Structure 1
């Protein structure tokens, strides 16, 4: 009898909500793609998305269905206006929910998960489907440090100050955010600082999980061998050329290093601040030691990480930073600002932490760290080995196992009344420490924190 039940039981149906779906466009689009493919190993996955990459057939070949709700013409126009992108996205979320609701009535889903965008401001409405609902990992809560307003251009400082104010209001008073969290089975924060900021605002957070990950290499990268001290230290910086990424902090630090400190900086970037940064590098006398390589596609970025001896991370406002993980996976240790999501990634075995107390202290921290690595190549090699070890903890396959366990835990209360579902042989064993009375949020927390 049990074998008959096993054969009849169908894989559970998972609805993933991800506005943009692409394997090689942005961090948000890639993480949605990776999570969909990973979940398809155990679930019948449908992705509710707005912007769909041309490679969608590859996703369908992995067993993932796509429920495409493209942005309307009005939403596209609205998104191009200053401050209009959030309004356009909120409108899309309402329309997308109605499409998902109609699909749910025809072919019911078992569980829903809002994957991206990971920002907290515009939650999906799919918690209304009356099925277990997971939201996160969510971020977007971090404020730009006020003491650094003078370290960026005036217009950028004004934008960041306005954003800080909006964040302070929305975190505490947004009815949509509070309603979504109240009806969620499990809510995950993308960093420990996001967790603190959300809970301080009176919002429930059940666990912490980095919102991004890194692909497992076909073969483990070998540890870097110590380079001679007379070779320039090769430093990579990567990110959008936007005010909050704060590349000038690194440029000013490099302008102040000892003449005996040999280095070469490679900047992988594109965006509105790029020309301003290039002019600053020229004024600081760095033109012959800075290489600007544009912003290549995802696969084309890997050789740059392999080239680097160290990766510099200066961002003053970021949920985490995929570049951090890509650098670690290549064996390039980090010299980075010690705050927000980056603080969860860096350890003393793979990084040199730079304080975020004032522009002067941060510039000095970068200068001292770069001089240290340039003269102590043994320390650099040890940090490189630590980087490879640290990267393994953030591989997508590891992240996916944690999330699949969170799905199972969220579904457990309903499945206790459904023997056919529990009989599926492909499902991993439950957490042995969770009792029959454990809440979905408690078991979700255990899975996310492993």
Structure 2
């Protein structure tokens, strides 16, 4: 079998963005160096054309309506993706026309969106296909339900995901027909199993590849002193408020300090709690800052404390580990897959009070033991190096494609 012809379906693909669309872009860009790739995507308003971002790749896009990028609808568009239904019809029509004209694809891959709430248009065609890496769908720990806003329309919409996974025929048909389902972490297979889809071919893969590593700063480690760093959007589930509360349990360690980089709806509440608990003088809230300043924050930190308890993956973990930072996080979802015992401390999540104390105990342990901090930092750096480059991931995916194609044809692998 020669160079593969790969059809990629990727809603919102954008190398100038962040999060899942950026990771997917890096993966597609690497794939294009090892296969003939055709991308079906969306033309995002005010963004650089995808064809300009992927020179040498056949790119077909359809524009999303400008109204979806207004302030009022931006959050709805990011979470619910109302244009997906239209996009899927456009993709289906394009594939049908291409096949009618004699085009052939060895395999297809719908790489974004991550959420398991959209029925793939690929199910309508006789092309083997891969879905994912799929993510999302983590529930809120029961002990946190009173503090997490689950009453908004968007959150109620999100709450339907489990029901749809069990009952939406089109969604289930698309999953059942897939040659392989990729998940951002093993918990995705648990979600499939609960929905009666545990029989499907599944593999957990990290959605991040490794680029050039930064030069490590010289960190002065002395007992009792610790610079904690939290980087991410300030929403309740990202654990910033829990970290602020943990600081109140560390009053006897005045040289333990926290820096927060990120903005969001929970930031005001975090600042208020810091003042109320009497720890505001040991916490710096930077808000949203440019990328170079984020990197300087990583370089100045001793520990990355990101106890996000409903996190499907979290690109910030990779960033922090690249900077040689040990990690304090939650023992659930994506973080439980990314971070191991050689790179950080993973904590059980039961109630806000328990969680804040656990974060404080983990921080105290690292403050009191600079040697442990150094070993975990080295382990974090080594682990992220072991994840491989984007080209490593692309080559592995090409081999996976070949195996799936051979199996479908009944040929020996």
Task: Say yes or no: does 1:126 pair with 2:119.
Answer: no
1:309-364: per-residue Cα shift (whole Å, max 9, x none)?
Answer: 11112222121111111111111011001111111111111111111122222111
Cα distance between partner residues in 2 of 1:351 and 1:77: 40
Q: Which runs of 5+ in 1 are unaligned?
A: 1-8, 418-435, 439-450
Question: Which is worse superposed, 98-107 or 363-372?
Answer: 98-107
In structure 2, the partner of 1:18 is: 10
Cα distance between partner residues in 2 of 1:349 and 1:318: 20
Aligned partners of 1:310 and 1:332 also within 8 Å:
yes
Cα distance between partner residues in 1 of 2:287 and 2:13: 23
Task: Say yes or no: does 1:115 pair with 2:111.
Answer: yes
The 5-angstrom pairing of residues 100-179 of structure 1 reads 100-106=95-101, 107-152=103-148, 156-159=149-152, 162=156, 165-179=159-173
In structure 1, the partner of 2:21 is: 29
- Superposition RMSD on alpha carbons, in Å? 2.8
Question: Which is worse superposed, 266-275 or 90-99?
Answer: 90-99
In structure 2, the partner of 1:210 is: 205
TM (norm. structure 2) is 0.88
In structure 2, the partner of 1:248 is: 241
CA positional deviation for 1:211: 4.6
Cα distance between partner residues in 2 of 1:224 and 1:55: 41
Cα distance between partner residues in 2 of 1:320 and 1:401: 22
Residue 86 of structure 2, aligned match among 83, 86, 91: 91
Question: Which is worse superposed, 402-411 or 130-139?
Answer: 402-411
CA 1:328–1:188 in 2, change beyond 3 Å: closer, same or farther? same
After the TM superposition, list the runs of 4 or more consecutive aligned residues in structure 1 that deviate by more than 6 angstroms: 74-79
Aligned partners of 1:112 and 1:127 also within 8 Å:
no
> SS where residue 54 of structure 2 aligns?
helix
In structure 2, the partner of 1:387 is: 380
> SS where residue 50 of structure 1 aligns?
strand
Question: Which is worse superposed, 321-330 or 20-29?
Answer: 20-29
Task: Say yes or no: does 1:193 pair with 2:214.
Answer: no
1:61-97: per-residue Cα shift (whole Å, max 9, x none)?
Answer: 3x32221111245766899288673433233222333
In structure 2, the partner of 1:227 is: 221
In structure 1, the partner of 2:402 is: 408
TM (norm. structure 1) is 0.82
1:387-432: per-residue Cα shift (whole Å, max 9, x none)?
Answer: 1111123233443333222111122246677xxxxxxxxxxxxxxx
In structure 2, the partner of 1:352 is: 345
Task: Say yes or no: does 1:259 pair with 2:252.
Answer: yes
> SS where residue 146 of structure 2 aligns?
helix
Task: Say yes or no: does 1:306 pair with 2:299.
Answer: yes
Aligned partners of 2:51 and 2:57 also within 8 Å:
no
Cα distance between partner residues in 1 of 2:210 and 2:52: 17
CA 1:376–1:75 in 2, change beyond 3 Å: closer, same or farther? closer
> SS where residue 25 of structure 1 aligns?
coil
CA 1:364–1:51 in 2, change beyond 3 Å: closer, same or farther? farther
Aligned partners of 2:8 and 2:39 also within 8 Å:
yes
In structure 2, the partner of 1:426 is: none
CA positional deviation for 1:48: 1.3
Residue 362 of structure 2, aligned match among 364, 369, 373: 369
In structure 2, the partner of 1:428 is: none
Question: Which is worse superposed, 73-82 or 191-200?
Answer: 73-82
CA positional deviation for 1:292: 2.4
In structure 1, the partner of 2:178 is: 184
> SS where residue 349 of structure 2 aligns?
coil
Aligned partners of 1:14 and 1:110 also within 8 Å:
yes
1:89-141: per-residue Cα shift (whole Å, max 9, x none)?
Answer: 23322233323433444433221101111111013202323111100111122
Aligned partners of 2:123 and 2:174 also within 8 Å:
yes
CA 1:267–1:101 in 2, change beyond 3 Å: closer, same or farther? farther
Cα distance between partner residues in 2 of 1:271 and 1:300: 18
